[in-house]
Structure 1
Amino acid sequence: MNVTHAAVAQQVRRLEEWLGVGLLFREGRGLSLTADGKILAEGLLEGFSQIAETIEMVASGGRDRPLNISMTPSFAVSWLMPRIGEFRTKHPSIELMLNPSVDVVDFRRDTIDLAIRYGDGDWPGLISAPFIPARFTIVAAKSLVQDRKIDSPQDLQDLPWLQEMGTREALQWLESQGVDLSSRKLNVTHLPGYMLLSALRAGQGVACTTSVWVEEDIAAGHLVSLYQEDSSKSYHIVHRPSVLRPEAKIFIDWMKQTERRDRQQATTSMGGE
């Protein structure tokens, strides 16, 4: 422990003074515990043993529990699910718990290891790393818009809208653009995030989403980008500032390698056309 006998003796004397009782007495060439010293030693031994058992229980629980990952439903449907089979094949020993949700993650309360969230990455008290850059966009099927003239956000009020359950993205965006919704109720369908993109592509309404999930549809002419924010927002990998579990590090590395590979393949494919 790199502590001298003199230093230990000094600490024992301070403890005796604080307790007001003797803990050791000299016996021959050695030291023995007094009656009070024996009581204290037995109690401390029991206490430290309980602490050690509790730490081991918590640690083993952390090692044995699944890797818990929270993500937005759109991210789950568009990016993760088409690729997750590859991860499971490469790492069959890592048990996963995938939680698609728009709810705010409380890392202090919930046993969540990683979260994938969209934004500017400024979440105090957490570590966030940009993963996929994506602009916030208002988009609709070409079959829905047809030849309608859209010069301002006000021109979108008569169209049906799609909004992910648990959010107010559509209403908040329209209000931020100065659209007065007090005199006219918007035709909104609230639906789970995993259904939103399918409904959007089917021409069932205008929707707020991120450009990365619809850029191929826009390029093919199936969807029309009506408005797009010029911002530097991204999907971020978010976690506590504490040390990551080994399984979480493996998952993050796999995500980054997979996205890098897919982007390179997409670039190569475009260059060959």
Structure 2
Amino acid sequence: MLQMAIMAKSPQRVSVESFIDPAMLACESAFLTTCKQEFQLHWSALPPLSMLRAFEAAARCGGFSAAGRELNVTHAAVAQQVRGLEERLGTQLLRRDGRGLAPTPEGRRLAERLGEALAIMRDGVAEVIEAGAERPVRITLSTGFAAGWLTHRLGEFRAERPDVELMLNPTATLIDLPRSDFDFAIRYGRGDWKGVEVERLFVSPGVVVGAPDLVARVGIETPADLLRAPWVQELGVREWSVWLAARDVTVGEKRDVLHLPAHMALDALRAGQGVGLMTRLLVERDIADGALVALFDDEAAAPGAGYWLVRRPGPLRESAAAFAGWLRREAAKG
């Protein structure tokens, strides 16, 4: 009967907390809080790295003057840093030893630990620098700029810096630079991209051009007349549609469009295979020589448009900074 009564009794839920002493929980919580506070206190109590570095050098070199020469500061600056460290720690770290200095027992222990820590830091920094130096400088840029302006100038940079390996990626695709492994990009536009740092290299408005014979045969006087001419367009972009829409010209369906990489598009334009929208920088010489005719200039419609050096926020590694500096100098030549 007793067994049946127990079995008939409805089961009860027993929480884990009922087996834990609340006082024990409070004690554990207080212990963790104290540990956290002490951990934060220990880090906040660390002396500045400048003090630690000055002391380590003075202890190792046996004097303030030698340490100053190593750190490229005056001996007085080293002495001031060491005195500040001793005051902060409340103990003497160096003592006079003849004409030089020697660490106290406490100073010797600290100097040894600091020497090990600074060596680890130097090795870590060296590894990063060496890894950066070994990687090629990677740049993404438009095919037109690469073929029409950059490539034939690269010999000068390579002669100047034969130690820098270059890897160029000419493409019409807009790369998400902050999420890529490219060092920087050269883009055409107004420089209003978000999440990146920009620096203008050239102002170069767009211009519609065509071979003289083609222009005369078609009779192009207004933007709408361009619909009667064959088009040449850089592969991967839709510049024509955007340009004509901004001038209230509806394109509709147009089939006689030749899509080519920018350097091939220039050859097609010179051969009279169509009209094209190019940046003036790339066709300036052809216009001056009469190989192409400038039909419509885009300077008023897109003020400030040009080529920009674009990079993610932060410093460039040395090899990439060297190439960027060379680009600035070349751009300044016009």
Q: TM-score under structure 2 normalisation?
A: 0.60
Structure 1 residue 179: Cα displacement: 2.0
Match of 1:129 in 2: 199
Find the residue that maps to 1:146 and give its secondary structure.
helix
Structure 1 residue 219: Cα displacement: 1.9
Alignment of 1:74-223 (within 5 A): 74-146=144-216, 148-182=218-252, 184-223=253-292
- Partner deviation per Cα, 1:44-75 (whole Å, 9 max, x = no partner): xxxxxxx9999876664333210001111010
Find the residue that maps to 2:201 and give its secondary structure.
strand
Provide the C-alpha distance between the structure 1 equivalents of 2:332 and 2:218, rounded to a whole number of angstroms.
39
Asked if structure 2 preserves the Cα contact closer than 8 Å seen for 1:157 and 1:186, the reply is: no
Provide the C-alpha distance between the structure 2 equivalents of 1:121 and 1:77, rounded to a whole number of angstroms.
22
Provide the C-alpha distance between the structure 2 equivalents of 1:196 and 1:232, rounded to a whole number of angstroms.
24
Aligned residue type for 1:203? G
Does structure 1 residue 73 correspond to structure 2 residue 143?
Answer: yes
Alpha carbons of structure 1 residues 14 and 56: separation in structure 2 relative to 1, 3 Å: farther
Aligned length: 221
Provide the C-alpha distance between the structure 2 equivalents of 1:56 and 1:88, rounded to a whole number of angstroms.
25
Alignment of 1:244-255 (within 5 A): 244-255=316-327
For structure 2, the 5+ residue unaligned runs are: 1-29, 37-120
Aligned residue type for 2:276? A
Asked if structure 2 preserves the Cα contact closer than 8 Å seen for 1:161 and 1:186, the reply is: no
Provide the C-alpha distance between the structure 2 equivalents of 1:146 and 1:16, rounded to a whole number of angstroms.
85
Match of 2:92 in 1: none
Match of 1:237 in 2: 309
**Which structure dedicates a bigger proportion of its chain to helix?**
2
Task: Please provide the CA RMSD for this pair.
Answer: 2.8
Provide the C-alpha distance between the structure 1 equivalents of 2:33 and 2:206, rounded to a whole number of angstroms.
67
Aligned residue type for 2:307? Y
Alpha carbons of structure 1 residues 201 and 192: separation in structure 2 relative to 1, 3 Å: same
Q: Which entry has the higher C-alpha Rg, 1 or 2?
A: 2
Find the residue that maps to 2:263 and give its secondary structure.
helix
User: Alignment identity in percent?
Assistant: 39
For structure 1, the 5+ residue unaligned runs are: 1-12, 20-50, 264-273
Match of 1:17 in 2: 34
- Partner deviation per Cα, 1:69-120 (whole Å, 9 max, x = no partner): 1111010001110100111111111011111011112122211001101111
Aligned residue type for 2:322? I
Q: TM-score under structure 1 normalisation?
A: 0.73
**Which structure dedicates a bigger proportion of its chain to strand?**
1
Provide the C-alpha distance between the structure 1 equivalents of 2:256 and 2:250, rounded to a whole number of angstroms.
14
Structure 1 residue 220: Cα displacement: 2.1
Aligned residue type for 2:330? T
Aligned residue type for 2:234? E
Does structure 1 residue 64 correspond to structure 2 residue 134?
Answer: yes
Asked if structure 2 preserves the Cα contact closer than 8 Å seen for 1:137 and 1:226, the reply is: yes
